[in-house]
Amino acid sequence: MKKTFLALTTLALFAASCGREGDQETKIVEKPTIQVTDGQFTPEVMWALGKMGETAISPDGTKLAYTLTYYDMDENKGNAEIYMMPTAGGEATRLTVTAQSEFNPVFLDDNTLLFCRGNEMRSIDVNSKSEKLLATFENGIEGFKISADGKKVVYITDLPVKHPADIEPLYKGLDKTTGRINEDLMYRHWDNWVDEYPQIFLANLDGTLDVEHSVAIVDSTFECPMRPWGGIEQYNFSSDGSKVAYTCRKKSGKDYALSTNSDIYVYNIADGKTVNISEGIMGYDQNPVFSHDGTRIAWESMERDGYESDKLRLMVYDFNSESLTDYTEGFDYGVSGITWTNDDSELLAVVMYQGMNEIFAFNVADKSKRRQVSHGYHDINGFQLAGDKIYANQVSISYPATVYTYNLNDDCKEGTKLTTFNDDILSQVNMGRVEEKWIKTHDGKDMLTWLIYPYNYDSTKTYPALLFCEGGPQSMVSQFWSTRWNFQVMSGAGYFVIAPNRRGCPGFGTAWCEEISGDYGGLCMRDYMTATDYFADNMKQIDKERIGACGASFGGFSIYWLAGHNENRRFKVFLAHNGMFNFEQQSLETEELWFTNWDLGGPYWAKTPQTIKSYSNSPHLFVDKWNTPICVVHSEFDFRIVASQGMAAYNAAKLRGLDARYLYFPDETHWVLRPQNSLLWHRNFIDWFDKYLK
């Protein structure tokens, strides 16, 4: 993302008036100008980069449209515009110039692009740039998909949650009250109070979108797509436009809070009937995709209820035989982003594989055959297939999202870079070297650890180092790029970064991933210590007297736990972001209760061998052993790990007489997303570690 900006012209301010009526945003955020000093990658440089979002390929395969967001730190906001370029390469053309963000670009034909702006769905002629309003949505629009013939649209809008009939009279005449009455669970989710729920509607498209006569596809108040992550990927049209398959967890309240059992439903447009084709599969089933011939449908499927990090299997249902086939049987890695090839002979998917996200192809005729298409030090976060060309949204530890192209028949190939919108800034930066290191754990296993060198590294000098503790807890330390935890910002501040794929990280087989559940204070913590000691002992340029540790979420818990097990002062300073401090509180404060039920074994009062072991590793039980300075960061709108956890940890540190700092955000969530808040977060991060390690 970005920072440091250009003055806006009168023309640009005038152009902002094309936003929807009533919109008070008038300042258009433009690409900033910035000069990098001495090649150092700082938080300010990071926020000056353009953030690529969604992409779309024209039907003839010659045009690539994408959204690109720039940020204005003074205004504390960003907005996305739509750009278009030839898929053969070349200059990009800006299609929109507004003060509002455009999103969800979709080609209707080779020269017409549909998209959303505010609560509107619009079209634009990509040649003349003339726009047309297609529909306005009273409750807003989150996204849409169109049928292959361009005549139908399924869109997502939010509907308000109504008070139960016996509660509604209590609110009579109290239109200014802020009180909430709840009599069931799931009254809040991740970062929002559940005052509305998403639903998908079917409407006809003929010049304009007939929203007035749209049809609700889901027959109840169940959310579709699923919160908090679900979007347009959770439903799809069949190729002939006669059916819509969608993801839904048809549960509410306490049942929803305790279960991950979603299903794949197929809605027949002609008669309005719905069939559940994944009934009996007890975990998450999501993101259905029809084959081109309409005889099969594929989706991502988890086997076990309540385990949100179960292996994502590639499941295929055959409509003719009514049979299910698992195409990842015997393949110890999960899949996402499934796409059928044009002839339906293969299924493409992104696979978390050995520290990278790669594209694999699965043979439909023979499920034992599969091949790796892409290969390199990168993460592919999504892709589109156009003919025999693959257009991938790709990042690495050293560059933000950009489009790379691959050929369908590639065999472990590196892609070809297509978009160049950040090259002018990145060319001024000296990124820290990134090395793949496989080290032995204390029990003799092989563990991938990324080692990121300080920028402008000099082998004759010694440097401080930071241990990075991953969140999740089942989350891979991959070649990710983020404006929240960015290894190159740490490198630019003059640090080595040690980033282990400890026990619990997917991408290294099911057994490795599952060794963390019920063992938060066990093997995964030993892995962190082993990795730290390995580099301190074997890398003479790392000063073992200047090592700190940081992490968020489960990584924040890891910091609190390490703080209570730091007798030999392996770590000289800590920083914990939105971490779990008191497991007993966490088990009751969090909203998705299946999470603590699975990973901790159940509520603390269950008194089973598993829960006794889990809760005995709660960091708050080891505060008497804390002996190291610690910075605590937490946010008010984190409903996964609530702010009281961070406040309690900070208070405990101060009562212990430790040097401690508390950074609190009253308007952020599990992440810090607002530009100025993010910049403060990064400046505080660097200042805190510099205080003790430099």
How far is it, in rounded angstroms, from Cα 659 to Cα 263?
50
Answer whether 126's CB lies under 8 Å from 63's CB: yes
The residue annotated as part of the active site, out of 553, 614, 618, 635, is: 553
Residue type, 691: K
CA 259 from centroid of its chain's CA atoms? 21
The residue annotated as part of the active site, out of 189, 378, 577, 670, is: 670
Task: Give the burial string for 321-339 (b: 16+ CB within 10 Å, else e).
Answer: eeeeeebbeebebbbbbbb
Strand partners, 124: 113, 131
Q: At what angle are helices 554-563 and 523-538 packed, to 10 degrees?
A: 70
Give catalytic status of residue 638 as yes or no.
yes
Strand partners, 357: 352, 379
Among 2, 31, 43, CA closest to 679: 43
What is residue 161's DSSP assignment? Answer: P
Residue 22 neighbours by CB under 8 Å, 6+ apart? none
How far is it, in rounded angstroms, from Cα 680 to Cα 675?
9
Q: What angle do CA 653, 656, 657 make, to 5 degrees?
A: 95
Give catalytic status of residue 670 as yes or no.
yes
How far is it, in rounded angstroms, from Cα 691 to Cα 689?
5
DSSP labels, 65-83: EEEEEEEETTTTEEEEEEE
Encode 550-562 in three state secondary structure.
EEECHHHHHHHHH
Answer whether 508's CB lies under 8 Å from 538's CB: no
Residue 626 neighbours by CB under 8 Å, 6+ apart? 563, 564, 566, 652, 653, 656, 658
Strand partners, 86: 63
Strand order in the sheet with 542-552: 434-440, 446-452, 496-500, 463-469, 542-552, 573-577, 630-635, 660-665
Q: Strand locations in 152-307, DSSP E?
A: 152-160, 188-189, 192-193, 196-206, 208-209, 215-216, 235-237, 243-248, 263-268, 274-276, 285-290, 296-301
What is residue 374's DSSP assignment? Answer: B
The residue annotated as part of the active site, out of 379, 410, 519, 638, is: 638
Among 483, 232, 506, 217, CA closest to 354: 506
- Residues with a catalytic annotation lie at 553, 638, 670
